Amino acid sequence: MSEHTLQATGRNVAGKGASRRLRRSAAIPAIVYGGKSAPQPIQLEHEKIWQASQHEWFYSSILNLDIDGKVEQVLLRDMQRHPYKQLILHLDFQRVDASQTLRARVPLHFLNQEKSPAGKTSGVVITHELTEVEVSCLPKDLPEAIEVDLADLAVGAVVHLSDLKLPAGVELPALKLGKEHDVAVVIAKHAKEEVADEATPAAADVPATKAAKKDDK
């Protein structure tokens, strides 16, 4: 697991007015909470955090948050963005306890799709039903991503959550909730099947409409 460090500074002044002043000075107001310590307001440099936010690890990795020289391990739990400007308005970080199991959302990386039997077959559509999953693990075992090797994906095949190969120490909480939660991750089917599926509801309406007209006579 790669290590990523963010530089932050503690702040004593809270409130909307203080937050607006921080944003005008190209800083981001944020909060660190959780663990045995009290919530701590902090601020971060916008440009550096904006650059970090362009990478997957910013959202799914344990981060080393350096606050005035004191480093805490945290997870990003919430990010508020401006509706149309390239601005981050606020961040929430949660402290991580090395001995406590955590839950986090991790991206899926799909490999070898083009090399698979389904990928080489004309007219086959391969859909990624999920692009991330929620995992449960100790902080030291948290992966930045989970790889899904599709090299053997056949036409008509469905890859479910239970088919994913997880790193050691990592679990999928959804699978403990029952078989109905073992949802599809990848589906490979002919494009004509996809069109037929979409047309089925409309086709089903036709006989009912005709029957209604017949009854009216």
Q: Topology of domain 102-197, per CATH?
A: RNA Polymerase Alpha Subunit; Chain A, domain 2 (2.170.120)
Mean pLDDT of all residues in 133-151: 95
CA nearest neighbour of 10 among 42, 40, 36: 42
Q: Please report, to the nearest 10 degrees, the dihedral formed by the alpha carbons of residues 111, 114, 120, 126 taken in order.
A: 70
pLDDT tens figures, 163-198: 999 999 999 999 999 999 999 999 999 877 555 555
Angstrom distance (rounded) from CA 10 to CA 70: 10
Beta bridge partners, 137, equal: 102
Q: How confident is the model at residue 15 (pLDDT cuts 50, 70, 90)?
A: low
**Confidence (pLDDT) at 210:** 41
**Quick check: 132 pLDDT over 60?**
yes
**Confidence (pLDDT) at 198:** 58
**Confidence (pLDDT) at 9:** 93
- For the chain, which residues make up each domain, given as ranges? 5-95, 102-197
**Confidence (pLDDT) at 217:** 44
**Quick check: 11 pLDDT over 60?**
yes
pLDDT tens figures, 66-116: 999 999 999 999 999 999 999 999 999 999 999 999 999 999 999 999 999
Same fold for the pair 5-95 and 102-197 = no
**Confidence (pLDDT) at 204:** 46
Mean pLDDT of all residues in 149-169: 96
**Quick check: 215 pLDDT over 70?**
no
CA nearest neighbour of 74 among 90, 58, 87: 58
Q: Sheet containing 124-128: give its strands across.
A: 124-128, 184-190, 158-160
Q: For domain 5-95, give its CATH number from 1.10.3720.10, 3.40.50.150, 2.40.240.10, 3.30.460.80.
A: 2.40.240.10
Angstrom distance (rounded) from CA 81 to CA 90: 7
Mean pLDDT of all residues in 148-164: 96
Residue 143 CA, distance from chain mean position: 13
**Confidence (pLDDT) at 201:** 55
CA geometry: angle 116, 172, 167, nearest 5 deg? 65
